[in-house]
Amino acid sequence: MAKHKHEHDSHETIQEMLRAMSNHGWRITDQRKSLATLFAEAEGYLSPKDVYESMRQKYPGVSFDTVYRNLRLLSEMGVLEQFHLNDSLKFRARCQSHHHHHMICIQCEKTVTFEFCPMKQVDLPSDFQIVNHRFEIFGYCSECSAQASTP
């Protein structure tokens, strides 16, 4: 059952990414479909180099600059989340289904979502129009904490 749900989530993620590209005037090419599929099926975060290496296998002529530019634009469109982890830039598909935040292990990059939103607890100026926000907690997951404390 979990695999079926993941396949459905992957398909939805691909469709959301392609819709965003189309809505921003991008032609939907095989290369862009492959990029959407790569992120929809990724288990964790991908660096620009990871994406480049993966895309280069199927599209040998693709340049790193093209891959990087597409990642930044997809992030600006709101379909990719970008994070700075361990001094490098990483991307992953943004969950569009519901609002949540993340706890991220800085060693293994395991991500745990949580539903609590701290924005509901903050008294912000009423004359500031918020359009988006993110909240991430960085630390060590239980497995990495246990490994660090084992002699």
Q: Mind listing the pLDDT tens digit of every residue in the chain (151 residues)? A: 334 334 447 888 899 899 999 999 999 999 999 999 999 998 778 999 999 999 999 999 999 999 999 999 999 888 898 888 777 888 888 876 566 677 788 888 777 777 777 777 778 888 888 777 777 788 888 888 887 666 5
99 is in an annotated binding site: yes
76: containing domain: 2-93
**108 marked ligand binding residue:** yes
Residues 90, 47 contacting (CB under 8 angstroms): yes
End-to-end CA distance of the chain: 39
Question: Is 37 in the same domain as 106?
Answer: no
Asked whether residue 133 is marked as a ligand-binding residue, the answer is yes
Q: What is the pLDDT of residue 96?
A: 60
Q: Do the annotations mark residue 95 as ligand-binding?
A: no
Pair (74, 16) in one structural domain: yes
Instruction: Residue 16: give its domain's CATH number.
Output: 1.10.10.10
Cα–Cα distance between 136 and 102 in angstroms, integer?
Answer: 5
- Statement: the pTM of the whole predicted model exceeds 0.85: no
If we measure between CA atoms, which residue out of 84, 76, 79 comes closest to residue 38? Answer: 79
Both 46 and 109 in one domain: the answer is: no
